[in-house]
Structure 1
Amino acid sequence: MNSVSVIKGHIVFTDSASEFTIIENGYIVSENGSIIDVCDSLPEKYHGIDVTDYGDSLIIPGFYDLHNHAGQYLQCGTGMNKELLDWLQDYTYKLEKDLADPEYAHRVYSRYVEDLCKYGTLGACAFATSSTVGTECLFEEFKKIGIRGFVGKVNMDCNAPDFIIEEAQKSLEGTRYLVEKYKDEPLVRPIITPRFAPTSTREALKMLGEMAVANGLPVQSHLSENRAEIEWVRELFPEYANYASVYAGNQLFGDTPTLMAHGVYLTEEEVEMCRNGNVYLVHCPDSNINVRSGIAPVKEFLNRGLKVGLGSDIAGGHKIQMNEAIVRAVQSSKILAVDKPDAQLSLSEAFYMATVTGGGFFGRMGKLKRDYQLDALVIDDDPLYKERYSLEDRLEKFLYIGDDRWIAARYVGGKLLKPG
């Protein structure tokens, strides 16, 4: 029983997307990081084990950010008047070039990973840059802070400035080096990361797909974010029926677990390809608004059985906080609901996307129930709120107006992370 631990508080999570599950004054019993019991009174067999009692605080799952660009973190809140392709050329590529310097990369990435943890993101899928050395720095910063991650060296060998692209074979060699070095890490692992189809040659896409399948590695990229981007893909790859088919034709679309960010303008065929494959769409509402891409019909995707998670998509998204992404997903769906009332997401659906769907990409995470990993946040809100509002209302308040000061504790795999 030495490896068994118990925490106590008001437990709130989503077992299904349609509603919150609430256990007042509940106990979570974990062993070696895995939850073995959740109950409203502690069974006798656990008596004698020290209980960490969080009193009237909420215990909720941690957040999982399925799409963001660590290499753009300093750029957050900059160039927000630009559309996507201009924004990349005018701001992004120059910053990413500088992150090839390992000293600078460590400075930037340490801030990025610390802030993920600070605001309650306990797992993140991150694009680094095309620099192998810089990407290695990002892996090390994830390891240092102790949260979960999938980290990708960005593969791009065309249609971008010369100072940021690499010849396809060199790019693949760097990726292979990182895969071999980090493939057995328990918390942070490699992910194959073609930036997006237009910045990859056919040769690069083919080799990346072969590497993903041969090594059982997940894939992350972008799909149908912007109308100009979609037209560019059509011009570059006329032999493919649609944007998704460019990836699918190169074993990069569901042959292994796949994250595709955005999906704002999917065709009917692409929706079916996502639904039938091992593909997660990642909704990034802040980014879609900021770079004027549009609003994805997320509720429709959920109703059709697609797996949809949430991403901050920094720096297209201007804030790293996933509670903000949850709120913005609901808000942007309300805009669509002006004309289509059934387009509106509920808060529980958006929360489910950020916890259960996101956690599912990492493994058994995102729910506070038996056989899930104990990845959790303890939310200690204002006594005035505690006096007046229900547990569900208090969670809603945290999601809408809370920040890191409301998070009293963070657990990853049952381990209490040290503050700061």
Structure 2
Amino acid sequence: MTAITAYRAAILHSLGDPTQVGLEDSYAYYEDGLLVVSEGLIADIGPAEQVLARLPAATPIIEFKDKLISAGFIDTHIHYPQTEMIASYGEQLLDWLNNYTFPEEGKFADPAHAARVASFFLDELLRNGTTTAMVFGTVHKASVEAFFTESDKRNMRMIAGKVMMDRNGPDYLLDTPESGYADSKALIERWHKQGRQLYAVTPRFAPTSTEAQLAMAGRLLAEYDDVYLQTHLSENKQEIEWVKSLFPERSGYLDVYDHFNLLGERSVFAHAVHLEQEECERMGETDSVISFCPTSNLFLGSGLLDLPKVESHGIRVGLGTDVGGGTSFSMLRTIAEAYKIQQLQEHKLHPIKALYLATLGGARSLSLDDKIGNLSIGKEADFLVLDLHATPLMDARINNSQHLFERLFVLMMLGDDRAVSETYIYGKRQYQK
């Protein structure tokens, strides 16, 4: 007999981008809802009264009093090897890489160190309600082996890749075009589509790869047409000038990647804060993706992403925490900073739009919205139980709220890991507060 479990609480999930479909049609909310899970998939959802009427007799029902069920959060850009160097003081991007990041990543030559950090990292994601992430390893093949091994144990849908970098870094972090290709290929063969694991070809960013290596990255994408590409783009003005000096024959930063056939629907570019008009147009044409990393952009002093501008070019956008340049694993904290960044540019980020970016928008940006991102029937059952009364201040503010949008906004502005009561992965509880 098929195992079925039902979960009763208020339920809110995203149905579409409110910018495109309108606010009214962009979400579903059930004040007293029922979510039914069978064999790791969503089997039914709706108002409790209606779903109960069609629920098989004797189905166990788990009730969450004064809680909200949501789809799991999706983090489209994060570095697991930087977990233990988060909150490193005082530098902007390039000095921060040299002084903090590279020495930390050097430790991942040790598989035992990689396994320990991967385990902690994934548990931290679950504690913060993140159920899927696009993740950088280090240049070491073993760092990605360790990551996927730990992720597979938890049955999390993860995308990750080995960093490719063959110049402009310390010797202990450099590979070659040939070894970067061979190691990446071996990892693709071993892990891509193994359970819920997916692979991303991962040149760190243009300055740390030679033309030969970027060509090898393009070769991998041509050989495996369903793998991903993840890298960095136009994060910092000093970085952009560096790219121009390294690739004088290219018209700009994006054109470096474009020249090596690295743009496309599964290509995710972190930051993209300082794009030129023609770069926005080209990203839209190629259906390439931006990962918006607000806490990192503020912490490293990189700049402010103009969200309406890039979306006007048809570019899909997801949210990224970018730990350890980012300062929190929490997508709620990330949303709060995204809101402030838009405020600084006189744009409003509606809480329903923010929910979309953190869930279904993230899934769409990773071309996974057929599997995850909301609680529609048939999707994989990655979901959260959220507590809108998690702290005394949240409780006081929620009790003084008049409607759903206001309560959601309070969660997003005042919430963090304390608001995540439980996290479910493929229908199985993997975290409980």
Query: Normalising by the residue count of structure 2, what TM-score does the alignment of the two structures yield?
Result: 0.90
What's 2:216 paired with? 207
Aligned residue pairs: how many? 413
Corresponding letter in the other structure for 1:382 = H
Provide the residue aligned with 1:71 in structure 2. 81
Q: Could you say which residue in structure 1 is the equivalent of 2:104? A: 95
The CA deviation at 1:55 is: 3.0
Q: Aligned residue for 1:9?
A: 9
Partner of 1:228 in structure 2?
Answer: 238
C-alpha deviations, 1:307-358, integer Å up to 9, x for none? Answer: 1100001111111111111111011111111xxxxx3322222221111111
Which of 384, 389, 396 is the matching residue for 1:382? 389
Q: Does the Cα contact within 8 Å between 1:8 and 1:28 map onto a contact in 2?
A: yes
2:175 equivalent to 1:175: no
**3-state SS of 1:71 partner:** helix
Is contact 1:323-1:400 (8 Å) kept?
A: yes
Residue number among 110, 113, 135 corresponding to 1:126 in the alignment:
135
Q: Could you tell me how far apart the structure 2 residues matched to 1:46 and 1:31 are? A: 12
Secondary structure in structure 2 of the residue aligned to 1:16: coil
Displacement after TM superposition at 1:291 (Å): 1.1
- 8 Å Cα contact 2:351-2:412 kept in structure 1: no
Aligned position for 2:116: 107
Gaps of 5+ in 2: none
- Written as runs of structure 1 = structure 2, the 5 A alignment for 1:278-289 is 278-289=287-298
Matched, 1:273 2:296: no
Deviations along 1:260-302, whole A, 9 cap, x unmatched? 0111111111111111223110100111111111101012222
Report how far residue 104 of structure 1 moved: 1.5
One-letter identity of the residue aligned with 2:270: A
Q: For the residues of structure 1 that align with 2:314 and 2:217, how far apart are their CA atoms?
A: 28
Deviation digits for residues 178-228 of structure 1, max 9, x if unmatched?
Answer: 111112322222110000011111111111111122112111001111111
Deviation at 1:391, TM superposition (A): 4.1
Q: What is the alpha-carbon distance in structure 2 between the residues aligned to residue 400 and residue 417 of structure 1?
A: 25
Q: Retained in 2: the 8 A contact 1:149–1:188?
A: yes
**Paired AA for residue 34 in structure 1:** L
CA deviations on 1:163-182 (whole Å, 9 max, x unpaired) are: 11112211221111211111
Structure 1: stretches of 5+ with no match in the other structure = 338-342
**Aligned partners of 2:154 and 2:412: how far apart in 1?**
24
Q: Distance in 2 between matches of 1:403 and 1:271?
A: 32
Q: Secondary structure at the match of 2:345?
A: helix
Equivalent position SS for 2:380: coil
Contact 1:117–1:147 (Cα < 8 Å) also in 2 = no
Is 1:257 matched up with 2:270?
no
User: What pairs with 1:341-352 in structure 2 (closer than 5 Å)?
Assistant: 343-352=347-356
Aligned residue number for residue 313 of structure 1: 322
Hey, what's the Cα distance between the residues in 2 that align with 1:186 and 1:152?
Answer: 16
Q: Which amino acid aligns with 2:426?
A: G
Tell me whether 384-393 or 268-277 shows the greater mean CA deviation. 384-393
Output the amino acid matched with 2:30: I
Distance 2:275 2:204 in 1: 19
Give CA deviations for 1:106-157 in whole Å, capped at 9, x if unaligned.
2222111110111100001111100111221111121233322111100000
Match of 1:21 among 28, 50, 57: 28
Do residues 52 (structure 1) and 59 (structure 2) align?
no
- Counterpart of 1:331 in 2: which secondary structure? helix
Matched, 1:237 2:247: yes
Partner SS state of residue 64, structure 1: strand
Distance 2:54 2:344 in 1: 52
Provide the residue aligned with 1:340 in structure 2: none
Letter matched to residue 334 of structure 2: A
> Quick one: distance in 1 between partners of 2:353 and 2:110?
41
CA distance in 1, matches of 2:419, 2:275: 38
The separation in 2 between residues aligned to 1:392 and 1:17, in whole angstroms, is 16
Q: Following the alignment from structure 2 to structure 1, what is the Cα–Cα distance between the partners of residues 399 and 272? A: 42
Alignment counterpart, residue 361 of structure 2, candidates 346, 357, 360: 357
Alignment RMSD: 1.9
Deviation at 1:388, TM superposition (A): 5.1
The answer to whether the 8 A contact 1:73-1:314 is kept is yes
Q: Which moved more, 1:386-395 or 1:217-226?
A: 386-395
Contact 2:126 2:431 (C-alpha < 8 Å) held by counterparts: no
Q: Counterparts of 1:174 and 1:267 in 2: how far apart (Å)?
A: 34
Rounded to whole Å, the distance in 2 between the matches of 1:27 and 1:89 is 51
Q: Structure 2 CA distance, aligned partners of 1:132 and 1:16?
A: 38
Identify the match of residue 42 of structure 2 among 25, 31, 35. 35
- The percentage of counterpart residues that share the same residue type is 32
Which residue does 2:303 correspond to in 1?
294
Q: What residue is the counterpart of 2:374 in the other structure? A: 367
SS state of the match for residue 417, structure 1?
strand
Residues 368/34 of structure 1: CA separation in 2 closer, same or farther (3 Å cut): same
| SS at 1:296 equivalent | coil
Deviation at 1:32, TM superposition (A): 2.8
**Who is 1:322 aligned against?**
331
Q: Note the alpha carbon deviations across 1:379-416, whole angstroms, 9 max, x for none.
A: 13329566554444333333222233332221222222
* 3-state DSSP of counterpart to 2:232: strand
* Worse overlay, 36-45 or 102-111: 36-45
